[in-house]
Structure formats: C-alpha cells, structure tokens
Structure 1
C-alpha cells in the first residue's frame, strides 16, 4: 500500500494511476527534472555526434590540403571519422569496469552536474580550436565523462520513483535516450540551412554550420546541468544495486547466464546485431552520402530517416504485428534488417536510400524493443537485472565499435570507377561495398536467430502473418472480463472464487462463470466431452462442441453481464480451446483461432491469469479423472507449453503465476494486477 504522506518520490495523488502510466511518472517532481536533464543531454549527444563526425571530415580535407594530398583524400576522410568514433569506444573499454565505482565514490548530484558542465565546455572548445587533433582529444574526454555520468544517472533514477513505477520510468528513459536522435538529426539539418541562408559570421568569417551545431550542443549540456542542480532528493553514496552486486559480479553473471542459456544467446545475438546494423549505416552515412552526390544536408536527411524509423519501430512495430509470436517477430525483423541493407548498398539515389534507411531503422527498433521484452519475460527474476545490465553495456560497446570499424573497412576498400561503355562509367565507393557485406552477414545472423528461437515450428510464417492482419480482438468498453487458465489441478476454480469474494467485498457487481457447462446447452456439451463413457471422439468434433459451448456462453451469460458493467470472472475460455485442442490434439492453430473468433464474436478478456503448474503436480491434487484428465503426460505437457506461449505473445493482457505458490500469495498478486483495470472500468462506466 502507498503511504499516506507525500514525499518527492511518492505522490499520494497518483495512488489510483495505473503502474504503467507515463503521465503519473512525469508528475513526480524530481524524476521530471531528471528526465528534462536526460533529454537535453541525449539531444546534445546526438547533435554532437553528427557535428563531430562532419567536422572531422572537414578537418581531414583541410589537413589533406596542407599535406599536399588535396581536399578529396578518400582514405584520410574515412580514417578521420573512424578515429573520432573509435575514441568513443576506448573509454568504455578502459573505464567501463571502473565507471560505476568512480561514480559511487562521489556525491551523485555533483557527478551529474559537473559532468554536464564539463561536456558543455569541451563541445564549445572544438570550434574555438578547430584542429583535428583537438577534435580527437575532446571526443576522448567527452566520452570519459559520459562513461562515469551514465552509472550515476542509472543509480539515481530508482531512488526517485516508487518501485511499482520503475518500469514506466525506464520506458520513458529509453524513449528519451533514443527518441532524441530524431530531433537531434532535424536540428542538425536545420542548422545547415540556417547558417547558409543567413550568412552568419564568426571571427570575421562566414559561420560554419558545424560550429553552430557544436555551440548549441554545449548550450544543451549547460542547461541540463542547471536543471540537475535543482534536484532535492537525489541520494548520496552507493545505490542499493551497487550494494548487492558490483560491476565485476554483474558482468560475470551476465556472461555466464548468456553462455549457458540458448534463448538468451539468441536474443542477445539478435539485439546486438540490430545495433550493429544501425551502427554501420550511421558510421558510413556521411561518406556514403558524399559518394551519391549529397552534402551535410543529405547526411542529416539520411540520419533523420534512420532514427525516425528506429523510433517508430520501438513504439509501433510490435502493435502493428500484434498477435504474432514475439519470438517470430524478433527473428523476422532481424532478417528484414539484413535484407534491407542490400538495396541500400546498391541504390545511388538519395530519395530511395532514405526510404530504405527508414525501413531499416524501423526493423532495428522492432528488434530492440521486442528482444528486451522477451528478456524481461523469459529471463528468471534473479538473473534479470544482471542480464539487462550486460545487454545495455554490450549494446553501447557494439554500436561504438561498429561506428569506428565501418569507416575503416570502407576506407581500405576505397572508391572505384567502372567503365560500362566508352561514355558511361559508374563510381562505387567503399561505403556502399561495406553496406553490401554487412547486409549479407546480417541476413545470415537473422535467419540463424529465427530458426533458433522459432516457437511455432511446423506452422508456416505466412499463415501466422495472414492471421495477424485479420485484426486483433474486441475488448468490452464496459465492465471487466477476467479469465483463469491453466492445466489440470492448477487451482483456477479456487482463485476465481477468492477473486469474486474480494471484489464483492470492495463493492463490485461480479459474475462468476465457467466453461464448459454454465448454460443449459453447455451442460450437455460438458457431459459429452468430459465423461469417460463418451469414449473416443473425433478431434474436430470435440473442438466444435467446445466452440458451441463458447458461443452460447458469450451470447447468454458473458456479454449481457459486461453490458451491465459487471466484472465477469470465467474459469477457462478461448485459450483452453487453443491449448487443449490445438497443442494437445495437434489441430491446426489457424483453423481453431478462426473458429474461436467466430464463436465468441472475437471478444477477448481484459486480463487472462495463467496458473502455471507442472502436469505431474496438478494430477496429484485429485484422484478421479475425467476424459481429458486421463490423457498422457505428453499431452498435458504440450497444453502447458501452449498456455505459456500465448501469454508471452501478449504480456499486456496476461499474468503468469507459478501455481505452486501459496494460495494467498497468488490471490494477492492477481488483485494487484487487476486493480488498474478496475479503475479504468469505473471511468469507462461513468463516461458511458
């Protein structure tokens, strides 16, 4: 229960807001301040990345002229960009293991504020010095500060929000960190136009738009530092996580688990692969755009396309393909990432390149968010934080490494001109060739990951995609529909009854029902399908009987109660049909899904509670067995796996609980998960 007194981290006005509410998190003053600082810092980092790489390219041209190589030294330009990006990797390699230790040995507020001011000064110094070697040095120093600033920020955020809102806070952080790439790219592009259109001067010379971008970046960090300086509840000393596990324990634990768990290996490989694909595009974008006749504006346009696709993919990709197995969605997006790099490498028109870059970013965003969701669902709780910490640090390292290596490879390949005829020739640069090579490698990685993680082997992907695009389910606008699912003896009836008693005590109007058999038609169906005297039934006949029971049940019991605004609790529903007749009887999933949609008018539960229990444990809870309970252990094992698979595909509508836990603990967890839905149902009822 939330304490009655107000504290900066727990606002009593937010008691009834759902745990996933973004607006509720942003109403917490100190977290909102931290979010503004993080947003400004992230925006500055993206604008600064574009400006520094472009400035390194310009400085290489100037250096080439001084050395007598001319201003079009292709290798020198690539090596200059690679040098800047490589220096972004070095601090993570050297300071990474010590960064958390360093950050925790000082006051966190001082670390955050001083870190922002230091980066502001370093960015502002680059236009003033305007020297390639100082660009290298300043980049190294900036990254050293960032490596220490990051752990201080990560250790602070859990202290600013209540534990039940930490997930929503992390989602906001993710959106802010990577979502700021798009406005950063737009700002960079706009500045190139502004400087050219207004003929601004600096030190008696026309103002270089890259200087303007760096000064703006410095201003962003300075303002961020000022905001963070107003924090009032920022904790001092080591964080709770640092007390429980140091950096070394986190890294070793993450490595060990990933090395021994096939699913974790496949997920991490895919997540890092998605980041690598994005890194290749970002690292080579400037040179590639030059090869096809673009300039700084084209560079900004291409970067904008990638980051726009990345943001849309993170937020909208999983919704677009809702209903597709998350494992399949992850593998499919990863394969698409690799395939899309092939036309990106072969086309030489900026318009087409930008389109494919946007699609590539979209698929990378889907991979990233889906992969992290799977990690959260599939990784055991005691390993989750360490595995996420490992993935986070490795993602940054992989991105930075690819950003540094891709230009090096492109520079070694060089620019080549091919004569197609006496008056026609084609110039093909090392950047495009590197895209092509990366696309082939990424496609191989994607196919391998898809095969490794596919949880619906034997069912064509095309069949799943057709089902997905037929649309999602219907959720009642009035009342709340809750279903309990699980294998035999899991405790569904007990929990359904306890939930009804609790809801009635809270003043709700509740209908407790079950399938099959809670109608006159259903009683006869139940007698046929469950009585051992029935003997063998055709699998299709059995499925049709269950579907008939559901159709009658929805039309005469469930739908009328929901229309009255009641809370409907059902012991079994559609998932039982898909698990028992689909996985258990091995009937085609698509046929059963279509039949179930039609029989139930596509009505879906707001929440499905899956009580997970090994079949042997469930069977030991009773003696007499009906016709379904008499099936083999393999049958019930397939049923259990089907329930868990369906739950993992739509976690926003499912709650999976270990059925071996004490009955009271299970009931309490169900109540916590259901509470936000009850509040939403009240609001919907008032509006109606």
Structure 2
C-alpha cells in the first residue's frame, strides 16, 4: 500500500520537512528510542566491566557478541515474520518488550544475565527495524522518501552525542535520588538510571506508534486454522525466506543497493579499528587524538551529505548520485590515507562521510521505492544482515590484514618506497586502508555493471 494522498492533511512546514504528520510521529518515536538505546548501551558496557570480575574485557566482548550474533544468524528470518505480522503491533510489542528487559537490568549481578538481556534486546530490534522501514512508504509521498530517510539517519545516529552528554550527568542525578530511602529497592546508580530512562523512552515510543494509522501488512489478515497452520509450516517459512533472498538477488535495484552497501562497508568499515594506528604510525600524532578527529570529521561529513540530500531531494537522479557517491567514498578514503598531515586526512575523511551518508540514505530510499509491499520487510531484513556481516568482517579482518601487510612491507621495502622522487612510508596500516579504498571502488564498478545490466 502506497501513501494515501487523501490523508495528507498536514501543516505546510510539516509537509515540507517530514512529508506527513504520521511520519513526524514515527520520527519522534525513533528519536526517543534511539537516544535511550545509546544511553543504555553505554550503561550495559560499564555494567559488563563491573560484574566481569577479573576478566572485564572478556565480559564486554561477550555482550558485544550478543548484540551482533542474532542479526548475523537470524536477521533474515525476522523479515519473514514481519511480512506476516501486523507491522504496527509488531513495533509496539518490540518497544514494550525492550522496556521490560531494561527494567530488569539494574538487578543483574552476573555476565550471563547481561548476555541474555542483550540477546533479547537485539531480537526485538531485529523485528522493529524492518517493520519501521517497511512502513515508511505508507506514511509519506514517494518524492519525499529521500528527505525522511535523511531524518531517520539523523534520529539513529545524531542522538549518540546527546546520549553521551546525558550519561555524564547521570551520576550526579543518581546521587540526589539515593538520598531518598524509599527508592533503595531500585538500586539507583548512574547505570540503573540509564536503564530506567531508556525503558521510559521505549514506553513513550510504543504509545506514539499506537496512535499511528498504519496498514496491517500484506499477510496480517484473518485466516482459517488450516490456512494458518499451513502458513507456519517449516516448508512454507523456508519458502518465504527463499523468496525474499531470490528477490534481493534478482531485482536489479535491490541487488545493486545491497552489493554497494555490503562490499563498500567491508572497505570503509576498516577505518574504525585502524584509525588510531594510522594516526600514530603514518601521521605521527597521538592515536587517541587522531582517531577522535577522524570520527568528528566523519560525523560532520555525514551531516553535510544528509543535509544536501534533503535540500536537493526533488532534483536528484537517485541512481546516478548513488553511483557517484560509491566511487567518491573509495576515492576519498584512498586520498585521505595518502596524506601526511592530520588536517589533510581529516578533510578527506569528511568527504568520505559525505559520500557514505549519501550512499546509505539513497540506498534505503531506492529499496523503499523498488521493493514490493509483500516482500519489503524481508528486503530490509536481508539488507541489515548484509550490513552487519560486512561491518563485522571489516572489524575482524582489518587489524589482522594490517599486521600481515606490515610484516611484508618491513621485509621487502623496509616500510619505505620512493615514488617520483618522494619517500613514501608504507606501513601495513596504510596498505590495508589503500586496499579498503580499492574494495570500495570495486563496489562502485559492481554497481555500475549492475545498473547497465538492468537497463539492457
């Protein structure tokens, strides 16, 4: 079901910015839950460190694995479920389930309890995300999808610094509240305050979503007991899952977006674990300071890219801009890691952020425009699975590859080569990031080839 123009009675400013009052409410719900979720993630990691005993590093690792593993293993299956269920009800249940789980977290004393809670939270998130993305085309006109997806990216990641700032003040707030003996049973401290606040944000999100006018979904209709049993048979569930992945691989636009994002993230994701090493080994600056500069530059670049898309959304040729941004991301990373000063590298990392934000927003928009209503949740679940897999691969492979190439460079070139009369140092980290840039360019070539095949 596409957006219903007859229900588009919104104030002019809201129509220009958010597309509809309905999407504005959904965006507010996402702002609340995303901000609270970042706040709770900080608290979960601190709690893991506290209850980890003599191995806090292992405890944090277990929790992070619990956040990543469900998406890798069963992320696609979540799309099958969402395509069968009432999307609005799914989002409400997921928000309330996450709120209940967070209310339990202040009372955990063991790492295994944190791991179980993280698995539950991630399971609900895997259902909520495709339900939300599948619902957006039913809330806003097609021509405004680019703008609202930019706002969605802002809600998901722009709340990170706000949550970080709030977390700093929670210790003081907890000190004040602990003065009241009546709340001793709540185990008030900075981390528990974060959990209680996050639970409240999910409760507010569920209330807001309950007021939205959303269609039930293509398969969320009444059926006989026989039809229902047949629909939930293992064979039918597997068939639905296979149909979703077949659509992802054979629909030209969906395939193009998934290939570009998945392959591009394998390359671009390496800058996260290797940024501090590059700052120290190549630029000769403090690794922590250099990494923070890179992350700030990347964030500013993403914000600029998103803002530009929002302003120009009615005059964009989405496929062409998407392709240019994929190539641009690889080029910016290559030039950034060829620089010899922190300022020069940071500026190019900012350019990488502009391109990365553009690729993500336009990719989501193209999927929303192309995917059919009955397969849309499976398409987004598949995308999120590929994204998680690519990021995890980049985080794992990047440092290992840098170490391997560092040994080869030291053995054969003494980590230094002369290019056109200039001495260029080539430690393993620089070689790895150059390779990452080439991987992103390869993603652009695959995208171009896919686009040409789809037009032939």
TM-score (norm 1): 0.46
Deviation string 1:157-204 (CA, Å, 9 cap, x unpaired) is: 57xx9x574658866763444213443332365468779999x9999x
Distance 1:346 1:321, change over 3 A: farther
Matched, 1:364 2:342: no
Partner of residue 525, structure 1: none
Matched, 1:398 2:386: yes
SS at match of 1:14: coil
Partner of residue 255, structure 1: 245
In 1, the alpha carbon distance for the partners of 2:114 and 2:33 equals 19
In 1, the alpha carbon distance for the partners of 2:276 and 2:172 equals 22
In the TM superposition, residue 225 of structure 1 has moved relative to its aligned partner by: 0.9
Distance 1:414 1:32, change over 3 A: closer
Matches of residues 94-109 of structure 1 in structure 2 within 5 Å? 94=74, 96-98=76-78, 101=81, 104=85, 108=90
Distance 1:368 1:403, change over 3 A: closer
Deviation string 1:652-688 (CA, Å, 9 cap, x unpaired) is: xxxxxxxxxxxxxxxxxxxxxxxxxxxxxxxxxxxxx
Matched, 1:144 2:123: yes
Distance 1:17 1:320, change over 3 A: closer
Distance 1:323 1:408, change over 3 A: same
- C-alpha contact 1:119 1:218 (8 A) present in aligned 2: no
Distance 1:22 1:302, change over 3 A: same
Partner of residue 333, structure 1: 325
Partner of residue 89, structure 1: 68
Matched, 1:445 2:443: yes
In the TM superposition, residue 25 of structure 1 has moved relative to its aligned partner by: 1.9
Matched, 1:220 2:198: yes
In 1, the alpha carbon distance for the partners of 2:75 and 2:339 equals 41
In 2, the alpha carbon distance for the partners of 1:409 and 1:168 equals 39
Partner of residue 186, structure 2: none
Deviation string 1:404-442 (CA, Å, 9 cap, x unpaired) is: 233322453576696889xxxx99676x66534322211
- C-alpha contact 2:19 2:144 (8 A) present in aligned 1: no
Pick one of 31, 41, 46 that aligns with 2:33: 41
In 2, the alpha carbon distance for the partners of 1:97 and 1:453 equals 28
- Stretch of structure 1 that moved more, 180-189 or 48-57: 48-57
- The structure with the largest alpha-carbon Rg is 1
Structure 1: gaps of 5 or more residues: 1-8, 65-76, 204-210, 456-640, 642-688
In the TM superposition, residue 143 of structure 1 has moved relative to its aligned partner by: 0.7
Distance 1:376 1:288, change over 3 A: same
In 1, the alpha carbon distance for the partners of 2:415 and 2:272 equals 31
TM-score (norm 2): 0.65
Matches of residues 294-373 of structure 1 in structure 2 within 5 Å? 294-295=287-288, 302-317=294-309, 326-345=318-337, 351-373=343-365
- C-alpha contact 1:272 1:398 (8 A) present in aligned 2: yes
Deviation string 1:336-376 (CA, Å, 9 cap, x unpaired) is: 21222234545686655543333212112222333455556
- C-alpha contact 2:35 2:160 (8 A) present in aligned 1: no
SS at match of 1:118: helix
Partner of residue 435, structure 1: 433
- Stretch of structure 1 that moved more, 140-149 or 284-293: 284-293
- May I ask how many residue pairs the two structures share in their alignment? 408
SS at match of 2:357: helix
Higher percent of residues as strand = 1
Partner of residue 293, structure 1: 286
- C-alpha contact 1:274 1:367 (8 A) present in aligned 2: no
